[in-house]
């Protein structure tokens, strides 16, 4: 049976005092009957690592470069993250795809770089509202995931996939459990064609997940937890979601 995973994506939020209070609140609320991690902005990763040392909470980054090193000002490599204990790294978040014009292939290359340094990539896929209304959801998410499968080959079983419908991120709108499950089942079937370990892979849902809808989403057969945005910035709210995953 797959163990549930809940990951908080702080995005470009936080501060040293607020982060310390948030992490202390999570530690106090735990332990949880699910794997839990937080993905913080780059400047805070060192402090997050120290704060969570010895705790049953993981941590990760929100992006990494596809390059190992070199003249790439502002970029952070997977090897740098791995050097001091990073476990997860988000790649292909819709905000990166939209605001930084990240292609499907670039996302796949970032996932490959992460795996090369034993990080677990959380690969995000999802459609816009216009794409959903045009009936293109299946084609869009399959195209996005296909690039990663093609690039990683047999290593695809080592990634986590997060379905985040763009129209539900930060909007207060949430895919119904049935809508989310339908896409997760599609993604699992696509992964099954690529690896015999597809049933062991974690597929997360993200998009306005809250304490009051988390349990119904996580109860779906192919939803193994969540990638949580705004609700991960408040210890009580995030802890409630983590407990719902149990």
DSSP string, 86-154: --EEEES-HHHHHHS---HHHHHHHHHHHHHTT-EEEEEE---HHHHHTT-HHHHHHHHHHHHHHHHGG
Catalytic member of 95, 102, 127, 164:
164
- Told to judge if 93 belongs to the known catalytic residues of this protein, a careful annotator would answer yes
Dist. CA 91–CA 158, nearest whole Å? 14
Tokens of 62: 């929100």
> Phi/psi of residue 115, each to 5°?
-65, -35
Nearest in space to 190 (alpha carbons), one of 159, 229, 149, 243? 149
Task: Calculate the CA dihedral of residues 242, 122, 147, 171 and round it to 10 degrees.
Answer: 50
Is 21 annotated as catalytic?
no
Query: By the 8 A CB rule, do 27 and 246 touch?
Result: no
Q: Which of 93, 95, 127, 184 is catalytic?
A: 93
| C-alpha–C-alpha distance, residues 54 and 49, integer Å | 10
State the catalytic residues. Answer: 93, 164
């Amino acid at each position: 049976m797959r163990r549930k995973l809940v990951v908080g994506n702080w995005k470009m939020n936080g501060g040293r005092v607020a982060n310390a209070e948030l992490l202390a609140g999570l530690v106090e609320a735990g332990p949880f009957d699910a794997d839990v991690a937080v993905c913080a902005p780059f400047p805070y990763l060192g402090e997050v690592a120290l704060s969570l040392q010895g705790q049953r909470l993981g941590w990760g980054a929100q992006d990494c470069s596809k390059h190992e090193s070199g003249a790439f000002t502002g970029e952070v490599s997977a090897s740098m993250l791995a050097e001091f204990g990073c476990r997860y790294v988000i790649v292909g978040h819709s905000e990166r795809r939209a605001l930084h014009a990240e292609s499907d292939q670039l996302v796949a290359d970032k996932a490959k770089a992460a795996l090369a340094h034993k990080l677990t990539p959380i690969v995000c896929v999802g459609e816009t509202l216009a794409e959903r209304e045009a009936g293109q959801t299946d084609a869009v998410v399959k195209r996005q995931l296909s690039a990663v499968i093609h690039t990683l080959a047999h290593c695809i079983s080592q990634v986590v996939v997060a379905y985040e419908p763009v129209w539900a991120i930060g909007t207060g709108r949430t895919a119904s459990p049935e809508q989310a499950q339908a896409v997760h089942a599609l993604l699992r079937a696509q992964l099954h064609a690529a690896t015999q370990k597809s049933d062991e892979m974690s597929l997360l849902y993200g998009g306005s997940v809250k304490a009051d809808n988390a349990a119904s989403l996580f109860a779906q057969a192919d939803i193994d937890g969540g990638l949580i945005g705004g609700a991960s910035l408040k210890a009580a709210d995030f802890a409630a979601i983590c407990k719902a995953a149990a």
